[in-house]
Amino acid sequence: MVKMELELSETAKRCIKDKLSQLQGAGGLLINFVEYKSCCGAHVKISNALVVDIKRYGTTVVPVAATESVVAYVEKDSDFFETDYNTIRVDIGNSEDCDLFEVSFE
């Protein structure tokens, strides 16, 4: 496995924090992680308290509430890094209202 730390922009951090804050206590928080161009498995961690383990493309889970720190950690298998598509998409929201954040690997 290859592990990379992705530092989100300040604007994205603020948007995510605001969204998480709105959704806390409102029937749970749904994180839908979508790998942008491939179906590789992934492990995604957004902040120290918010962990999403994705088995395949389109998997959704209900994680614990997030802390104030918002940093994305992504582990992908090596096949992912052999492609030209190094952009992932993270949809954050409930089932009826998802905000989209895109993060590109350096």
Mean pLDDT, to the nearest integer, of 6-29?
Answer: 51
- Stated as kind and residue range, the H or E segment containing 78 is helix 78-81
Q: Which residues face 58 on adjacent strands?
A: none
- 66-102 pLDDT per residue, tens: 333 333 333 444 333 333 333 334 444 433 443 334 3
- Residues present in the chain in total: 106
User: What is the pairing mode between strands 42-46 and 2-6?
Assistant: unpaired
- 26-69 pLDDT per residue, tens: 443 344 333 322 233 334 444 323 333 333 233 333 333 333 33
Spatial separation of the C-alpha atoms in residues 32 and 39, rounded to whole Å: 14
pLDDT of residue 51: 33
Spatial separation of the C-alpha atoms in residues 31 and 60, rounded to whole Å: 6
Query: Between 14 and 24, where is the model more confident?
Result: 14
